[in-house]
Amino acid sequence: MNYDIADPSLASEGRRRIAWADRRMPVLAAIRERFEVERPLEGVKVAACMHVTTETAVLMKTLRAGGASVALSASNPLSTQDDVTAALVDDGISVFAVRGEDSETFYRHINAILDTDPDIVFDDGADTTTVLHRERTTQPILGGLEETTTGVLRLRSMAKNGVLRYPVVAVNDSATKHLFDNRHGTGQSSLDGILRASNILFAGRTVVVAGFGDCGWGVARRAAGLGSNVVVIEVDPIRALSAAMEGYRVMTAAEAAPIGDVFLTVTGDIHIFRPEHFAVMKDSVILANAGHFDVELDLAGLDEMAVARREIRDNLEEYELADGRRIIVVAQGRLVNLGAAEGHPADVMDMSFADQALAAEWLVENGENLVPDVYVLPHELDEEVARLKLEAMGAGLETLTPEQVRYLDSWEEGT
C-alpha cells in the first residue's frame, strides 16, 4: 500500500525542491543519462531504506531510469521530508514513510518494502539487513548496499561471525563517499541543524565534538571556521593526536563537560554524555547528535534527572534540572542534520548517490558470483565519480608526462 498523500500543494513543493537538488547533482545526472540508454537495472526490484530527502528522490529516479522498480522507506523516523514523499508517490514511486513515525510504523514500513520481493536492498544503518536476518531469514536477496559507517560496522561483524547471508557493498567505504559526505556534508549540515533549531552564535563558544573520525573532522573544522573554540573527545590515540595537531584542545568527557557550550556527538558509540556529565554542565548548554543512532546522548538518564521538560522551539527541547540549570537537546538526540535541517547538501550527495547507483549496477553484474561478504567498489569506479565531479566543477586535472610515468615507475633514477 502506498501512502496516498493527496495534498497537491505538498507534492508540488516537493517537486520544486527535488528539481533544485537535481540541478546540483551533475554526476548522478550523467549516470542517469547513461542508464536511460543502457538500462542496466532492467527488471531489477529495489527496496531502499534511506532518508527520504530531495537527494534520495533524485537517486530513486536514477534507478528507475536504469530500469529498476523502487520501493522506499525511511531510515530514520525524523528524517522524512513529507513533501518529497508526496512528490514521489505522485510520480508513481512507492514510498512508505511519514515524518515522526513511531517505532512500530517504522518497522511496518521496512516490512512493506521487503514485501515487494526485492532483488537488491539499499540500507542506511543496516536496519533492513537486520530485519532480513532476524525475521525474514529465508527471503532470497541478490545483494545489499550500505550507506553509512555504523551500518558497515554491523555488516562486518555479521560477516566475521559467518551470519551474513548475501553480499553487501560498503558504499560508505568508497573514497568519493566518506571523504566528502562524512567530512564536508556532516560538517556543514550538522551545524546547519543546530543553527536552524536554535539560531545561536557559534563565534566565541566552546564547541565540544565527540569523535574525530571523518564526521568529527568536518564538524570540528566548520565550528572552528565559525569562530568557536573547539574541544575534541576521542578514544583512539592516533585520531586524538591528529585533532591536537589540527589545533583543537583534546580532553576527556569529564574535563569537557563543565566548559562546553555546545556538545555534538559523532562517534557511532553509545552514551558519550551521561548523567555524571549533565551534573556539571553549564546552564543552557546545547546537546546534539549526528551519529547514526539516537544512543550517543543518554537521554533516559537526563530525563530521570529532570524536574520538567518542555519544547521551547521547533526541534529544541529543554530539560530543567532540580538546581534550576537547563539542558537543551536538539532533534530528540536523533541525526541533527536530518532532523532539524535538510541533511547534506545535494552537491555532496551527488557523489554518495553516484556511488550508490554504480554499486547497484556492479551488484547486478557480479552478484550471482559473489559469496556473502562485505565488498568495496573497485577503485576505478571511485576515480570515475571523482573525475565526473571535477569536470562538473570546471576543475582541471593534470596528467603525467611519459617522462614522469617512467620516472615514477623506476627504482634506478632519481639521485
The contact mask relative to ligand NAD for 261-280 (x = CB under 6 A, - = no) is: -----xxxx--x--------
Q: Which is nearer to ligand ADE, 181 or 234 (CB)?
A: 181
Q: What's the rounded Cα separation, in Å, for the pair 286 and 317?
A: 10
H or E element: which one contains 208? strand 206-210
Interface region with ligand NAD, contact rule CB under 6 A, candidates 59-67, 82-90, 206-214, 301-309: 206-214
Partner touching 239 among ligand NAD, ligand ADE, none, CB below 5 to 8 Å by kind = ligand NAD
DSSP string covering 135-152: T-TT---SEEEE-SHHHH
Q: Is the distance from CB of 98 to CB of 10 less than 8 angstroms?
A: no
Minimum distance of ligand NAD from residue 181's CB (angstroms)? 6
Helix (H, G, I), strand (E, B) or coil at 412: coil
User: Applying CB under 6 A, does 343 fall inside the site for ligand ADE?
Assistant: yes
* Residue from 212, 263, 353, 375 binding ligand NAD (CB under 6 A): 212
Q: Of the candidates 21, 25, 36, 148, which has an alpha carbon nearest to the alpha carbon of residue 84?
A: 21
Shortest gap between Cβ of 51 and ligand ADE (angstroms)? 4
Q: Least Å distance between CB 123 and ligand ADE?
A: 12
Question: Using CB under 6 A as the criterion, what x/- string covers residues 152-181 for binding ligand NAD?
Answer: --------------------------x---
Grid coordinates belonging to 317:
527541547
Q: Which amino acid is at 186?
A: T
232 is an interface residue for ligand NAD by CB under 6 A: no
By C-beta, is 21 or 250 nearer to ligand ADE?
21
Tell the smallest beta-carbon distance from residue 163 to ligand NAD (Å). Answer: 21
Q: Would you say 375 and 167 are in contact if contact means Cβ atoms under 8 Å apart?
A: yes
Contact 319, 294 (CB under 8 A): no
Q: Per rule CB under 6 A, is residue 235 in the interface with ligand NAD?
A: yes
Cell output for 116: 515487494
Q: Decide if residue 286 touches ligand NAD (CB under 6 A).
A: no
First to last CA, the chain: 71
- The answer to the question of residue 149 lying near ligand NAD (CB under 6 A) is yes
**CB closer to ligand NAD, 159 vs 235:** 235
Query: In three state form, how does the secondary structure of 309-346 look?
Result: EEEEECCEEEEEECCCCEEEEEHHHCEHHHHCCCCCCH
Smallest separation, CB 45 to ligand NAD (Å): 26
Stretch of 69-77, 98-106, 231-239, 406-414 lying at the interface with ligand NAD (CB under 6 A): 231-239
Return the amino acid letter for 139: Q
Cell 540549570 belongs to 325
* Angle (CA) 348 289 83, round 5°: 55
Q: Note the residues at the interface with ligand NAD (CB under 6 A).
A: 148-150, 178, 182, 186, 210-216, 233-236, 239, 266-269, 272, 290-292, 335, 337
Q: Note the residues at the interface with ligand ADE (CB under 6 A).
A: 50-51, 53, 55-56, 185, 338, 343-344, 349
